Structure formats: C-alpha cells, structure tokens
Amino acid sequence: MPRKHVGEFLVENGIVTRADLDEALEMQRDNPERLVGEILVTMGSISKEQLIMAMEMFLVETGSDPEHVDEWLDQDEIDLLIEKKNTETT
C-alpha cells in the first residue's frame, strides 16, 4: 500500500487548501531541506498548533511510523503524539 503524504492528508481533511499545498510544494522544490509543514506554517496557511493536531490525526489514521512523518515537529512533540496514541490504544 503506498504511503500517504501528509500534505495530501491536510488537503483531504480541509486543513489547508490545494492551492496552499501546491505553493508550499513549489517552495520546497527550491528548498528541499525544508519540510512541507514548516513551509505551510511559515506561509501562515496553518498554525503550528493546527499542524500538531493534524499530525496526531495523521498518525492515528495511518498508523504511521513517526520517523516517516514528513512534517515539521520537534522530537518532544512527536514523542507526545506517540505517547498519547499508545495510551489511547491500550
């Protein structure tokens, strides 16, 4: 099964617009070291708090390994999301 990209998840769930994602992806082409979530936050399309909540939804829906989440979260935030997910499933 192909891995779902976070940007597509954000659009599918109405968190960002297709135009915002397309713009962020275009900017990422020029700056490949920057992550799409970071760019969307910088653009003002989404707040960091919204991104964190969306990432929690993404992790739950896809059962993703957080090392493969291609968005802008620091390790503490990822750890919190994993811990919350683990406590919800036990």
Q: Taking 80 as the threshold, does the pLDDT of residue 67 lie above it?
A: no
Q: How high does pLDDT run on average in the chain?
A: 79
Give the residue, 54 or 17, on which the prediction is more confident. 17
DSSP state letters, 36-47: HHHHHHHHTSS-
Indicate if the alpha-carbon torsion angle 48, 10, 21, 82 is positive or negative.
positive
Q: Taking 80 as the threshold, does the pLDDT of residue 46 lie above it?
A: yes
User: What pLDDT shows up at residue 40?
Assistant: 93
Q: What is the pLDDT of residues 13-37, one digit of tens each?
A: 999 999 999 999 999 999 988 888 8
Q: Taking 70 as the threshold, does the pLDDT of residue 78 lie above it?
A: no
